Amino acid sequence: KQTGVSLRYMMEFGSVPTDRNLLLSAQFLQKELPIRIARRALELESLPFGLSAKPAILKVRDWYLDSFRDIRYFPEVRNRDDELAFTQMIKMIKVRHNNVVPTMALGVQQLKNEQFSSRKLPPGFDEIHGFLDRFYMSRIGIRMLIGQHVALHEPEPEPGVIGLINTKLSPIQVAQIASEDARSICMREYGSAPDINIYGDQNLTFPYVTSHLHLMLFELVKNSLRAVQERYMNSDKDVPPVRIIVADGTEDVTIKVSDEGGGIRRSGLPRIFTYLYSTAKNLPDMEGPSEGVTMAGYGFGLPVSRLYARYFGGDLQIISMEGYGTVIFCFVSANLSA
């Protein structure tokens, strides 16, 4: 069985990154990572609808098998030199797995194109959806454990930063950066981009993983910008802004992203968190050359963002008003195990 590690424990343990603590961390990862990686490799070999035989899925499986071997064949970590060598090796493993999400998406898309020509997915597809949820949630965990261990070697961390965790993260600041990033992609794709207004307490901070929050907000804002841009592209009306509101509650920090992009039809709402559902009209060719991030992909953005929110006990919820717009609530909690 795998061992859960809480955000609080990671913060307390990593606050004093002594050689002894880094050695203990490496020894834990040497036992823990093969367990998590092996589970995923086994699942990749027994997927329904012949998905396991798709070239893209075989490629991902090989990455997992290579990483499993690298860790299993690595000598037992006993001292500082071993620990540094082990850290370099798991750093390389993290890089090897950088493209797992788009490669998996390609494999599932190949299957969908071959077997399910209609937009309606077959009854057994729930099994693939459940697998993808488990697979991506596990991937977030593996990358968090490796990333945290590697980041603890940073000689001069920023004040308040412990590994990947910012103990004084400003959600307003992250929202501003994610918004600028999403707007620049929108500008690149359409030549213009709606404004984004951000409201909330500028002084609010809480402990969280900056990269996780950025990924979620970037995805949500990107979706809203696209919806508004496409709705008002050929209109002479004023383009309404996308609004982000940050609120601090007793349980969660809640971030609301709302737009007037026309909303999602009610029949589409139950599928919004299923993989491969996309409201985009023109889907990119994933087998062609990639030009980095696009405004709309193959419907992996929202379900994966929700997993990032749930990873530390939060959630993502959508309310849509067809003919007007969409509101997404991102509940961010830093309380639970991962």
How do residues 90-115 score in pLDDT, each as one tens digit? 999 999 999 999 899 889 888 888 87
Beta carbons within 8 Å of 197's beta carbon, 6+ residues apart: 241, 242, 243, 244
Q: Which residue has the higher pLDDT, 281 or 316?
A: 316
* pLDDT reported for residue 89: 98
Residue 2 is encoded by which pair of tokens?
Answer: 């795998």
User: Considering the entire predicted model, what is its pTM?
Assistant: 0.91
Do the bridges between strand 325-332 and strand 253-259 make them parallel or antiparallel, or are there none, so unpaired?
antiparallel
The helix (run of H) or strand (run of E) holding residue 328 is strand 325-332
**Segments making up each domain of the chain, as ranges:** 7-159, 165-333
CATH assignment, 7-159? 1.20.140.20
Mean pLDDT of 278-284: 53
Look at residue 289 and tell me whether its pLDDT is greater than 50. no
Closest listed residue to residue 272, CA positions, set 303, 298, 294 = 303
Query: Band of the pLDDT at 18, cuts 50, 70, 90?
Result: very high
What's the mean pLDDT when you consider all of the chain? 90
Burial class (CB in 10 A: 0-12, 13-18, 19+), 42: exposed
* pLDDT reported for residue 148: 97
Burial class (CB in 10 A: 0-12, 13-18, 19+), 4: exposed
Mean pLDDT of 253-258: 98
* pLDDT reported for residue 338: 44
Mean pLDDT of 272-282: 68
* pLDDT reported for residue 268: 87
Mean pLDDT of 224-236: 94
With respect to CATH, is domain 165-333 assigned 3.30.565.10?
yes
Look at residue 165 and tell me whether its pLDDT is greater than 90. yes
The helix (run of H) or strand (run of E) holding residue 145 is helix 125-151
Whether residue 259 contacts residue 224, with contact meaning beta carbons closer than 8 Å, is answered with yes
Counting residues of the chain whose pLDDT is more than 70, the rounded percentage is 89
Residue 140 is encoded by which pair of tokens?
Answer: 């977030």
